Amino acid sequence: MKIRFTKKFQHKYKKLPYEIQKKTDDNLLLFKRDSNYPSLKIKKMKGHQKIWEGRITRKYRFTFCIKNDVYILRNIGTHDILQKP
């Protein structure tokens, strides 16, 4: 699996608290090994045909889309990001 990061994702990642960045790094390793890993709770977003969401913690999420076998990480942050994935 190939993973790419949008500039938006990179920018928002840098603003996260250190402990959330660390948890994100750990979860993205799991995601790369198995995108269906249960704790990630990956699911397709309602109202956004081609965008998926995954869990970092109870409070933090990330969004991504898939294009030609490349997973493009779009956004990261609190549940609020799900309004504009």
Prediction pTM value: 0.90
Q: Where are the beta strands (DSSP E) in 31-69?
A: 43-44, 52-55, 60-67
Torsion of CA 14, 55, 62, 1, to 10 degrees: 100
Q: What pLDDT shows up at residue 34?
A: 93
**Rounded mean pLDDT of 55-61?**
95
Strands 52-55 and 2-5: unpaired
Q: Which pLDDT tens digit goes with each residue over 23-54?
A: 999 999 999 999 899 999 999 998 888 999 99
Q: Would you say 39 and 52 are in contact if contact means Cβ atoms under 8 Å apart?
A: no
What are the tens digits of pLDDT across the range 6-18? 999 999 999 999 9
Judge whether residue 22 has pLDDT over 80: yes
Taken in order of first residue, the domains within the chain and their CATH numbers are: 2-78 (3.30.2310.20)
In whole angstroms, give the CA distance from residue 26 to residue 32: 10
